[in-house]
Structure 1
Amino acid sequence: MEIKEFDVFVIGTGSAGKTVAEACVEAGKKVAIADHREFGGTCANRGCDPKKVLVGLSEIMDRTEKMKGKGITQMPEFSWQDIQNFKKKFVDAVPAATEKDLKSLGIEMYHQSPQFLDENTLSVEGKTIKAQKIVIATGQKPMELKIPGRDFALVSDDFLELAELPESMIFIGAGYIGMELAHIAARLGVKVTILDMADRPLSNFNEKIVNPLTKISEDIGIDFIFNAGVSEIEKLQKNFRVNYQKDDIEESIKAEMVFNTAGRVPSINHLNLEKGNVSFTRKGVTVNKYLQNPGNKNVYACGDVSASEGLPLTPLSSIEAKIVITHILDKNIKEKAKYPAQPSVVFTTPQLASIGLSVEEAERRNFDINVKENFGLNWFNAKRINERTYGFQTIIDKKSGQILGAHIIASEAAEMINLFAMAMQTQLTYKEVKALIFSYPTWGNDIKQMI
């Protein structure tokens, strides 16, 4: 059998994989790339981008509801089919456009997940491939539920493609995906229930900004069942029944659709990593400070699939990709991956946003801190749109004056946290931020009153 040889073989066509492949071929390397799903990756095809389009509709409904009697006389009608068609304008062209870009550069493409045969050999589409360097950028996928009837549960991909909304939904998992999709559905009239094993949603986020969001979620009709261990999903004639255990009592609820939003895991189980001597953990492909795999020095991993210090964020994937590129293209450059404070956002309505340390983390690290917080803000930006929930907590290092952490619940928290990210990554002190001149009245200007 003929063996095809490449300088670089990239597995995954999202932001990280495409960045590596394009840079390597432009540097004169012979490059191939593979993906077992649509080219273009999760974010553009079935994640951040299409989700944000649907969030836009639910934000309009929420904003209109708040302004009833204050200029709005009646709620608008909405069409789920129309918003889905609008979303497709952003999504449908991505795979073909990605393939066109890769093809124009002379990158050879494979539409299957490769499997390792040994440290430098892969099998894909029935072909045997040899590569000097292999880059794994396969991202993450929904975590499988280990319960009977798990195949009845849909995932976020399915939600984003729904032809019509049902009357009722159950989400198993109150992480950021479950909460974001639940807010879209509930604000568009669906009866929503969320189950979670924890005692609150969004356990990775600051409890002080999560608590008011929980109350808002309940106000828009979302039912929470916490401390619940799901044991089975059953198919009924019209609905599905989810059985769960709470306080040692077996209970159940029914809905037209059930979604698995219990979390995401590295997409690596199909790669046969053991045969390639590629070390990995539950967090993903093991990497050193150069994003190189310690088990197989010819393998690099970047993006959500790498077990690095970085959060699973698309912008960080591209940064990690650039680290990998420097090591593949120039052996004299030994650039290390660096992870400054990284903002994280939940696109509910209102939004949650966090960056940096919590109070508890700062205290564990022995910082002498000032903590400023207010969760009942009645500032102008909130008042003018009749926003009822606006709050923050910030943590400042007394010694240096630098911002250690910021946690916000607000209509525009996602944009506000970017200003905190800029301040923290450039090591501005809180006094230097307060001295900046921002436009007013804006949400960005409000951050100067938060520090």
Structure 2
Amino acid sequence: MSNFDYDLFVIGGGSGGVRAGRLAAELGAKVAIAEEYRVGGTCVIRGCVPKKLLVYGSRYSSAFADARNFGWTSDSLRFDWPTLIGNVRREVDRLNGVYTRTLEKAGVRIILDRAVLDDPHTVRLANGDAPISAKTILVATGGHPMIPKLPGSEHLISSNECFQLEELPASIAIVGAGYIGMEFASIFAGLGVQVTVIHRGDQVLRNFDADLRDGLAEAMRKRGIDIRINTETAGIEKVDGGYRVHFKRGDSLHAGLVMAATGRLPNTMGLGLDEAGVDLGWNGHVVVDEFSRSSVGNIYAVGDVTDRVNLTPVAIHEATAFAETVFNDQATPVDHMMIPTAVFSDPEIGTVGLSEESAREMGHVVDIYKIVFRPLRYTLAGRDEKMLMKLVVDMASDKVLGCHILGPDAAEIVQMAAIALKMGATKVQFDMTMALHPSAAEELVTLRHKWEAPTPMAGSDAAA
């Protein structure tokens, strides 16, 4: 019989913590999870899911405009923010209930409180209850928005507060041009807000393929979003009617709201990890090995708190591997290669594998295949917006190292392409695959000519 209260104690009830707790319980472990806010974590409560619902809502403005040339007319359309955000909040509440019931059904004890480590096997709750002992402890506390240290930074909102807005501002300035900045810029612009993106770098979406970065910036500017690169923020001042954002070069900008989208930091402060002997990395993340084990043998960590690949499906995969390793005697390391990801901007990005730049930096001699064309749906709509598809191919092995898409349904297409890349598919195998016509995705299997110089813009019938 165990000398511990629990076989597994999970700190953090997000996607990773819930998956690990449920699987461990189903494998026979006695499990408890402590969550200080709401079960579901960042993704479900204040991240991916509510954000994607806002993305859907923001895209109707373009869809209605496109519909006119397809024969649909309506002069009575009106957008109501309280309706959208109210429905989004209700869906979040529903999912919170689903996650809670999933844990309860598996026999996991849910503790709605903050938990802190006293030592490697002991957890203390903020409510003052008696300490709890556990054989294994899993830290799955995720991350939080990083607010830059600037004069007036107290005036900045983060993505968290976007879901709490009771009304939309007439204008917003977004500091930062990564995933979150680009996505919320598209959301607000689609809902009729005047948007300015402020970025100190030389292009949006650092570390993405250069063609995706350039293509997205150009498309968003055409949609009326003001993207200011090589612009560093000096401070934010509260003024009548909103805020004034001051730049280091001396000029300024007025906006109704100012949002920080400058990255996220792991939630490790005040958890007692140092006291328990857990090694932390440069930004406070929990340092783990390939099995998600920390420097303390019985303490593990998964998800954003480890700052490996900060994506919800990665946290879920890491949690699954953790449960298999610790509670099913199946040592399961996590492979972080070939992870597909999307930016739900407008237009959308889907990408998997190496960018052209990364492939060359790693020593690959590559062939590039790409095409830029107007999707069929935009021909009747009359929209002057192009789609990009690109393959990065290793010249020596013919393996497809990267697949990058900008345009409608990019995420859905890349999810399937990721299977092929994970299996080591070659360009010849792509070429041997029959095309599905008419579709945008068929371009991935009909690319025949290596990219050497700009080619004439292809039409929607490029694959004919």
TM-score scaled to structure 2, two decimals?
0.89
The reply to whether residue 60 of structure 1 matches residue 60 of structure 2 is yes
SS in 1 for 2:224: coil
Aligned mates of 1:386, 1:345 — CA distance in 2: 26
Query: Quick one: distance in 1 between partners of 2:98 and 2:347?
Result: 34
Deviation at 1:241, TM superposition (A): 1.9
Aligned partner (choices 194, 203, 207) of residue 206 of structure 2: 203
Contact 1:13 1:40 in 2 (8 A): yes
Matched, 1:287 2:288: yes
1:143-182 map, 5 Å: 143-182=146-185
Residue 287 of structure 1: how far off its partner (Å) = 0.7
Contact 2:210/2:357 (8 A) holds in 1? no
Residues 50 and 197 of structure 1, relative CA distance in 2, 3 Å threshold: same
Match of 2:429 in 1: 432
Asked whether the equivalents of residues 63 and 385 of structure 1 are also in contact (C-alpha less than 8 Å), the reply is no
Map of 1:191 onto structure 2: 194
**CA offset digits 1:149-173 (Å, max 9, x no partner):** 2222111122123222111111111
CA distance in 2, matches of 1:447, 1:51: 29
CA distance in 2, matches of 1:386, 1:12: 48
SS at match of 1:211: helix
Query: Which residue, out of 317, 320, 326, partners 2:318?
Result: 320
Partner of 2:103: 102
CA positional deviation for 1:144: 2.3
| CA distances 1:162-209 after superposition (whole Å, capped 9, x unpaired) | 222111111111111111111111122111111111122112212212
- Contact kept, 8 Å, 1:13 with 1:138, in 2: the verdict is yes
Could you tell me how far 1:393 is from its partner in structure 2?
2.3
Secondary structure, aligned partner of 1:7:
strand
- Checking the alignment, whether the CA contact within 8 Å between 1:12 and 1:34 is kept in structure 2 is yes
Which digits, 9 at most, give the CA deviation of each residue in 1:293-343, with x for residues without a partner? Answer: 1x21111111222243xx21212211111111122214x532221123011
Q: Are the counterparts in 1 of residues 278 and 296 from structure 2 also a CA contact under 8 Å?
A: yes
In 2: Cα distance, 1:238 partner to 1:30 partner: 55
Alignment of 1:338 onto 2:340: no
Q: Does the alignment pair 1:444 with 2:441?
A: yes
Distance (whole Å) between structure 2 residues aligned to residue 91 and residue 391 of structure 1? 34
Q: Distance in 2 between matches of 1:107 and 1:69?
A: 54
Tell me the SS of whatever aligns to 1:181.
Answer: helix
Q: CA deviation at 1:73?
A: 4.5
Structure 1 position 382, deviation (Å): 4.8
2:29 aligns to what SS in structure 1?
coil
Using a 3 Å threshold, how does the CA distance of structure 1 residues 129 and 386 change in structure 2: closer, same or farther? farther
Aligned to 1:347: 344
What is the CA–CA distance in structure 1 between the aligned matches of 2:119 and 2:447, rounded to whole Å? 55
The aligned residue for residue 420 of structure 1 is 417
Say whether residues 1:359 and 2:356 are aligned partners: yes
- Give, in whole Å, the separation in 2 of the partners of 1:168 and 1:34: 39
Q: 1:100 to 1:379 in 2, by over 3 A?
A: closer
Deviations 1:37-64 (A, max 9, x none): 1111111111111111111122221233
Is the deviation greater in 135-144 or in 264-273? Answer: 264-273
Where in structure 2 are there 5+ consecutive unaligned residues?
449-464
| Aligned pair partner of 2:401 in 401, 404, 415 | 404
Is the 1:153–1:258 contact (alpha carbons within 8 Å) kept by the matching residues of 2?
yes
CA offsets, 1:385-424, max 9 Å, x none?
A: 5452211221112232221011211111111211220110
Unaligned runs of 5+ residues in structure 1 are none
Residues 96 and 74 of structure 1: CA distance in aligned 2, closer, same or farther (over 3 Å) = closer
Q: Give the Cα separation in 2 of the matches to 1:307 and 1:182.
A: 25
8 Å CA contact retained: 1:239, 1:256: yes
- CA–CA distance in structure 1, aligned partners of residues 66 and 377 of structure 2: 14
Match of 2:84 in 1: 83
Counterpart of 1:213?
216
> Residue type of the partner of 2:128?
G
Distance 1:385 1:291 in 2: 49
Query: Which residue of structure 1 aligns with residue 370 of structure 2?
Result: 373
Q: What secondary structure, in the 3-state scheme, does the structure 2 residue paired with 1:276 have? A: coil
Which residue among 219, 235, 239 is the counterpart of 1:236? 239
Structure 1 residue identity aligned to 2:300: Y
1-side partners of 2:107 and 2:347: how far apart?
45
Q: How far apart, CA to CA, are the structure 2 residues paired with 1:123 and 1:67?
A: 58
Seen in structure 2, the aligned counterparts of structure 1 residues 8 and 439 have a Cα distance that, compared at 3 Å, is same
RMSD: 2.2
Query: What is the distance in 2 between the residues matched to 1:421 and 1:166?
Result: 39
Partner of residue 137, structure 1 = 140
- 1:439: how far off? 3.6
Bigger shift: residues 196-205 or 284-293: 196-205
SS in 2 for 1:192: strand
String of CA shifts for 1:47-92, please: whole Å, max 9, x gaps: 1111111111222212333454453446732222222233234212
Query: TM-score scaled to structure 1, two decimals?
Result: 0.91
Which range moved further: 333-342 or 403-412?
Answer: 333-342
